Amino acid sequence: MNRENRDSKKPVQTFQAMAKRLIRLNRGWSRKLDTLLDPHGHRGDGSVDFMAAIRSALRPGMVVLDVGGGKRPAIAADLKASLDLLVIGVDISHEELNAAPPGSYDQTICGDITVEIALPAADLAIARSVTEHVADPSAMYLNILQALRPGAFLISYVPNKFAPYALVNAALPNQLSKILLSFFHWESKEETGFPALYRHCYPSRLEALLLGVGFRDVQIHPSYRSEYCNFFLPLHASELAWQLFTSRLNQRNLCETFTVIAQKPLETTGANCIDAGGVAGDLTHWTDGGL
């Protein structure tokens, strides 16, 4: 790179550095406002809830389907090893699967989860931020149901299509959304990319969908917290006021994200039937005491 090119980039680099400094300041002020107005975390934390549900469901030796995990598997390699899990990564992108941390998956399956796909029998299926990207969530969850052993669980983390950030994201062209997210949330730059469709992505609709394809005991656990607007304090204050309002009224269809837990019905016969009693008991305990 010659000196002229370096000099021409200096104003851009200076602007970027100043912008990041200002955004960090606003994030700090936003966190202080959160602590002031929601000191007990009444809004919840969807990511924490999702991971807590997974940890409650895991048992040594389980076969786990990580649907859409790609380069961000939900189960860390050290946890997988400690429980002797067999984790199978399912994703539509070879590149995403290949970018996962070493040792994350024991097997990978590259394919569209909404069409006929050969999935091995599994004791647990997890899906983090996948539903909003697929064209046919009914087909996706039906394929997962058919792969699960009787009594096995599905745990899915879903953004709500009626959350303010989702409404904005759905209204903007995907490329523009990626640019804005990369600028205001540069740490998450590598996590963005796939267009979000948000089909059936709200609690009451997804609950009905899962029951319709054959799951039972569907539990919805809403979270009213998100931080998409924390880069600008006044905007975050408006976002926080909305979240506190909807959480106090327990308007789950207006939540920010939600965790879904559903079970495949038990069968009294069959070699693939698993003893899910302990898992169900732990998940019930988690949902009663953890939320």
How far apart, in whole angstroms, are the C-alpha atoms of residue 16 and residue 93?
Answer: 32
- Say which CATH number the domain at 207 has: 3.40.50.150
User: How many other CB atoms are there within 10 angstroms of residue 81's CB atom?
Assistant: 10
DSSP 32-95: HHHHHH-TT-TT--HHHHHHHHHHHH--TT-EEEEET-TTS-SS-HHHHHHTT-EEEEEES-HH
**pLDDT of amino acid 284:** 41
Q: Do residues 75 and 286 touch, judged by C-beta distance below 8 A?
A: no
DSSP 105-161: -SEEEES-TTS------EEEEEEES-GGG-S-HHHHHHHHHHHEEEEEEEEEEEE-T
pLDDT at 42: 93
Number of domains in the chain: 1
pLDDT by residue for the chain (291 residues), tens only, comes to 555 555 556 777 787 888 899 999 999 999 999 999 999 999 999 999 999 999 999 999 999 999 999 999 999 999 999 999 999 999 999 999 999 999 999 999 999 999 978 899 999 999 999 999 999 999 999 999 999 999 999 999 999 999 999 999 999 888 888 888 787 777 765 555 678 999 999 999 999 999 999 999 999 999 999 988 999 999 999 999 999 999 999 999 999 999 999 999 987 444 444 444 434 444 444 443 333
Which range of residues forms the domain containing residue 166? 3-289
pLDDT of residue 36: 96
Place of tokens 């966190």: 31
Q: Are 210 and 8 in contact (CB under 8 A)?
A: no
